[in-house]
Structure 1
Amino acid sequence: MDRLFIFDTTLRDGEQVPGCQLNTVEKIQVAKALEMLGVDVIEAGFPVSSPGDFHSVVEISKAVTWPTICALTRAVEKDIEVAADALKYAKKGRIHTGIGTSDYHIRHKFNSNQDEILERAIAATKYAKKYVEDVEFYCEDAGRTDNAYLARVVESVIKAGATVVNIPDTTGYCLPDEYGAKIKYLMEHVDGIHKAIISTHCHNDLGMATANTVQGVLNGARQVEVTINGIGERAGNTSLEEIAMIFKSHKERSIATNINTTKIYGTSRLVSSLMNMPIQPNKAIVGRNAFAHSSGIHQDGVLKNRESYEIIDPKDVGIDESAILLTARSGRAALKHRLCVLGVDLDQDKLDKVYQEFLKLADRKKDINDDDVLMLVGKDRTETHRIKLEHLQVTSGVGVQSVASVCLNLSGVKRFEAAAGNGPVDAGIKAVKKAINNDDMTIQEFLIQAINKGSDDTGKVHMQVAYQGNMYYGFSANTDIIAASVEAFIDAINKFII
């Protein structure tokens, strides 16, 4: 079996999605989950971009044992120096440097020419090689780069010391046969190509990221750059879970990864919860409908033989068909078991605290699902908020004016206000604005999502709030959708009210 290396960029490319930023503690939690999943390389961040990114790369390097920790840079000496400093605690560190190679980038982004870009590529690779042995070079917008020039760049950076060369379809433009042919061209025309690993990095702008990645692998690439749930800039990146299960399912291709596929579901839900990024129900492998059958013909076929309509055993991706159902009668052991399945490890004190919240929720809901559990685990993130909602009461109905009264805790000082509005949510938001004495903010996006089904279900609210020219994102989950809406608004304003 040929070994396919999995390079996960959830914490770098994935975290560039608006509203999905994680703090260092959360990033470490994801990194450890990726390690348990079997990821070979974790791209931990872009250290020169911010002190937070630098600190995260440092701390992830300390926390993770065996995967390679990678730091992104531009082809700039200062970037490379900062990345090398951030990787000083990594057991295995890699610097990922590069530059745009398409005419779009060379002419319009850099106002340069092919020869100058080639020189910069070689210089950056050599400079990174002074700090680490493992250097990856990316040819940004390789998907739209002329193959002959791309081959010159790849050959030159390999000679300069690159151990991995990344061929990104940065804009998601390529068709699968074109991208596969590009990788094949490099394999056949680059002198010394076998001294380095060729990597894919495909975006999903036209919905072809996974197809392009597969074609890249079938034509010689042996590293794939992917994210959990396919998150990433714009339409996202290639999904880790899709690539892992494609090659597990197609054993005839003799390509194997190190991924422990039974950890896929738990890791997927963990990332979705921490990043407040819902998974579409029909998402391949991890969507809630991925193994659901509503057609009578399909149901009959599956009951007679699962393989009639399922090419993947749900248990292979960590979905236990005989999962323990969580209800108000469940004990701590059942809750702890479900958390372990979801990749969450809590100490006894934290477990006790979450369990008490679990019992309160279970009294309001018949069944507790995975998203409910992860919501409870993440609820303590609001404890550090300067503004907290202590009390909310709303009067609303047909033919009456909606009125809301709130009590906010402003750094230990309680403030009561009431307001009327065009509906209960509007009244609650206006009461909060009065309580903080600030009306200079507007809601730009307001999304309500039910986790499962039923009138007793927990509702998720995602909110985008504009303030002084910037966008801030808030999130909350509650069985009371009005409370969830007000809490999400407060979550957003805590990010800019000092």
Structure 2
Amino acid sequence: MNQVKMGKYRPYPQIDLPNRQWPNKIITKAPKWCSVDLRDGNQALINPMDMNKKLELFTLLLKLGFKEIEVGFPSASKVEFDFLRRLVDDKLIPDDVTIQVLVQAREHLIAKTFEALSGVKKATVHLYNSTSTAQRKIVFGKSKEEIVVLALEGVDLVKKYEKEHDGEIFLEYSPESFTGTELEFAAEISNAVTARWGISSTRKVIINLPATVEMATPNVYADQIEWMANHLDNRENVIISTHTHNDRGTSIAATELALLAGADRVEGTLLSNGERTGNVDMITLALNMLTQGVNPELDFSDINEVLDVVERCTEMVTHARHPYVGELVYTAFSGSHQDAINKGLAYQKNSVDSFWEVPYLPIDPQDVGRTYESIIRINSQSGKGGIAFILEKNFGYQLPKAMHPEIGRIVQAVTDEKGRELEAEEILEIFKDTYFNIKKHISLIDVTLSTNKKVSTCTLTYKYNGEKIVAQAEGNGPIDACKNALMKDYKNEFTINSYSEHSCGDKSTAKAVAYIEIQSKDILSCYGVGKDNDIATASIKAMFCALNRAFS
């Protein structure tokens, strides 16, 4: 950036707020939510939504629990006018939902807006005009006094048409480009608007303070909100609303800090769709609250449906790392992460405390309709614990922990060779090829076992060096008896270090799976796996598997 001349940019001025209170506060309840997906979100699309897509997205917003929905700018577009009329004529607006419409302070636009609102029981008329120094100087060429007059003319017009409307009308006023407006002037024009409207406990006003352009760090926006809260007349009857954009990439933080600073309401979109860099993402905001034990009063329990509808309606693709929603946000490739998640899930399963405490997962994926199967995926960065997790969660193989390094090395070699992520089915095939589909220098043909007074007898039939051999021996258990019978003719000395077993599959079709670890003077450790309807036979198959892997 050496070519950028110094002085071209300057730091945003700090707010004189020596006794700020917001840093000591926490979010304890959900704000009032207002979706602007159908207006601010729609205007930002390459291909704006048609009637069917608008209706589908509106239906989703209702299902999610939104009670305030901005449906458009009906005076500026026939499509948006017709959409609002469709909602009214088809009686699609629930009685407890407030429809919001945007309009500029011009009489013919306000008249058209009320024509579109005819029949709506509860509506918010969102009146705005730009107040920033740059807009006043560069775009409008107007003084502060002229800007105030413009806002008040708009209020008078809304009041005029309100009288003829058969329904409840709420006023929202936005000093647009608030973050570029002197705070004293923002308070002056907002107070003038509320006074002209006739604010009272039964006639509250929404003062929306938008970060139309995000110009400073989130703490500065919080200072601005707290300053305004301290300087707005009739504060108890003012609903302070935020509408943050993401120019600096901090709209989430800015909104959260604004809530600490006294904001009562949030305007935003699903998945951050919006003009230029996007609006604040209300999914992230709501689920951030959920992870702190605060009920967000929005239902994102089926995040896949939300993702599907929003992407289809907007034709926008969601980043794989988008918080809470992206394809990979509940996925770990790193070996250390996989191991910690695997242990955390096991701990959670056995914990008597309902508190969610799993490393690397701030939210239970099941709470948003995701499944554990997608949490751990395998590539060249993955570890042994992740591979064991895949085999257990997807296919029921509960590998003993001491076996994890062995299978980890085997799968790692394949991922290094392929240079890509492995699917769960591919990992299963590697497992089968390693422990079931192996080259054999010794093959089990048949085994008969009996136990009498804690002594097991094994009659073993097997093929070794091209010769069929039958041997019998006793031992202190089936595995010991089998080993003793085998060693009458088998030439490779070995010891059994460990043994474990479990059932795999549904009760009606469950198989027994056994794992045996052997050791010889040349081999420190080698595992074998066996699977059979009978657990003793599965154990002997596991021993033969280990021998073939160790000595073939």
Q: TM-score range by the shorter chain?
A: 0.5 to 0.7
Q: In structure 2, do the counterparts of structure 1 residues 82 and 187 end up closer, same or farther at CA, with 3 Å as the change threshold? A: same
Deviation at 1:11?
0.8
The aligned residue for residue 453 of structure 1 is none
The aligned residue for residue 13 of structure 1 is 40
Aligned counterpart in structure 1 of residue 362 of structure 2, from 305, 311, 325:
311
Kindly provide the amino acid, as one letter, of the partner of residue 370 in structure 2: I
> What SS does the corresponding residue of 1:135 show, helix, strand or coil?
strand
Q: Is the 8 A contact 2:54 2:313 kept in 1?
A: no
The aligned residue for residue 340 of structure 2 is 301
Deviation at 1:87?
1.8
Q: 2-side partners of 1:205 and 1:20: how far apart?
A: 22
Q: Is the 8 A contact 1:80 1:95 kept in 2?
A: no
> What SS does the corresponding residue of 1:104 show, helix, strand or coil?
helix
Q: 1-side partners of 2:46 and 2:371: how far apart?
A: 31
Tell me the percent identity: 28
Question: Is the aligned partner of 1:114 residue 2:144?
Answer: yes
> What SS does the corresponding residue of 2:34 show, helix, strand or coil?
strand
Kindly provide the amino acid, as one letter, of the partner of residue 283 in structure 1: H
Bigger radius of gyration among the two: 2
Q: 2-side partners of 1:112 and 1:81: how far apart?
A: 25
Q: 1-side partners of 2:333 and 2:235: how far apart?
A: 49
Q: Is the 8 A contact 1:31 1:60 kept in 2?
A: no
Question: Is the aligned partner of 1:279 residue 2:318?
Answer: yes
Within a 5 Å distance, the mapping from 1:196-345 to structure 2 comes to 196-251=238-293, 256-306=295-345, 307-321=358-372
Q: Is the 8 A contact 2:225 2:258 kept in 1?
A: yes
Q: In structure 2, do the counterparts of structure 1 residues 64 and 264 end up closer, same or farther at CA, with 3 Å as the change threshold? A: farther
The aligned residue for residue 386 of structure 1 is none
Question: Is the aligned partner of 1:129 residue 2:165?
Answer: no
Q: Is the 8 A contact 1:46 1:73 kept in 2?
A: yes
Q: 2-side partners of 1:256 and 1:300: how far apart?
A: 31
Q: Is the 8 A contact 1:187 1:220 kept in 2?
A: yes
> What SS does the corresponding residue of 1:268 show, helix, strand or coil?
helix
Q: 1-side partners of 2:136 and 2:171: how far apart?
A: 23
Question: Is the aligned partner of 1:57 residue 2:93?
Answer: no
Deviation at 1:3?
4.3
The aligned residue for residue 500 of structure 2 is none
Q: What TM-score comes out, normalization by structure 2 length? A: 0.56
Deviation at 1:321?
4.3
Q: What TM-score comes out, normalization by structure 1 length? A: 0.62
Q: 2-side partners of 1:315 and 1:159: how far apart?
A: 49
Kindly provide the amino acid, as one letter, of the partner of residue 363 in structure 2: I
Q: In structure 2, do the counterparts of structure 1 residues 230 and 52 end up closer, same or farther at CA, with 3 Å as the change threshold? A: same
Deviation at 1:94?
1.2
Q: Is the 8 A contact 1:163 1:195 kept in 2?
A: yes
Q: 1-side partners of 2:250 and 2:295: how far apart?
A: 22
The ranges of structure 1 where at least 4 consecutive aligned residues each deviate by more than 3 angstroms after the TM superposition are: 320-323
Q: Is the 8 A contact 1:4 1:224 kept in 2?
A: yes
Q: 2-side partners of 1:25 and 1:206: how far apart?
A: 34
Q: Is the 8 A contact 1:137 1:164 kept in 2?
A: yes
> What SS does the corresponding residue of 1:164 show, helix, strand or coil?
strand
Within a 5 Å distance, the mapping from 1:386-397 to structure 2 comes to none
Q: 2-side partners of 1:237 and 1:290: how far apart?
A: 21
The aligned residue for residue 124 of structure 2 is 94
Aligned counterpart in structure 2 of residue 144 of structure 1, from 173, 180, 202:
180
Q: Is the 8 A contact 2:287 2:296 kept in 1?
A: no
> What SS does the corresponding residue of 1:261 show, helix, strand or coil?
coil
Kindly provide the amino acid, as one letter, of the partner of residue 153 in structure 1: I
Kindly provide the amino acid, as one letter, of the partner of residue 112 in structure 1: K
Q: In structure 2, do the counterparts of structure 1 residues 207 and 11 end up closer, same or farther at CA, with 3 Å as the change threshold? A: same
Deviation at 1:17?
2.1
Question: Is the aligned partner of 1:71 residue 2:101?
Answer: yes
Q: 1-side partners of 2:121 and 2:44: how far apart?
A: 29
Question: Is the aligned partner of 1:103 residue 2:133?
Answer: yes
Q: Is the 8 A contact 2:40 2:275 kept in 1?
A: yes
Question: Is the aligned partner of 1:38 residue 2:77?
Answer: no
Deviation at 1:256?
4.6
Q: In structure 2, do the counterparts of structure 1 residues 318 and 126 end up closer, same or farther at CA, with 3 Å as the change threshold? A: farther
Deviation at 1:215?
1.2
Kindly provide the amino acid, as one letter, of the partner of residue 83 in structure 1: T
After superposition, the CA RMSD in angstroms is 2.0
Q: 1-side partners of 2:362 and 2:116: how far apart?
A: 43
Q: 2-side partners of 1:241 and 1:3: how far apart?
A: 13
Q: Which runs of 5+ in 2 are unaligned?
A: 1-27, 163-167, 198-203, 346-357, 375-422, 425-552
The aligned residue for residue 455 of structure 1 is none
Q: Is the 8 A contact 1:4 1:256 kept in 2?
A: no
Q: 2-side partners of 1:189 and 1:271: how far apart?
A: 39
Q: 2-side partners of 1:114 and 1:264: how far apart?
A: 46
Deviation at 1:322?
7.2
Deviation at 1:297?
1.0
Q: How many residue pairs get matched?
A: 322
Q: Is the 8 A contact 2:270 2:283 kept in 1?
A: yes
After superposition, the C-alpha distances for 1:361-408 in whole angstroms (9 at most, x for unaligned) are: xxxxx99xxxxxxxxxxxxxxxxxxxxxxxxxxxxxxxxxxxxxxxxx
Q: In structure 2, do the counterparts of structure 1 residues 80 and 257 end up closer, same or farther at CA, with 3 Å as the change threshold? A: farther
Q: Is the 8 A contact 1:230 1:240 kept in 2?
A: yes
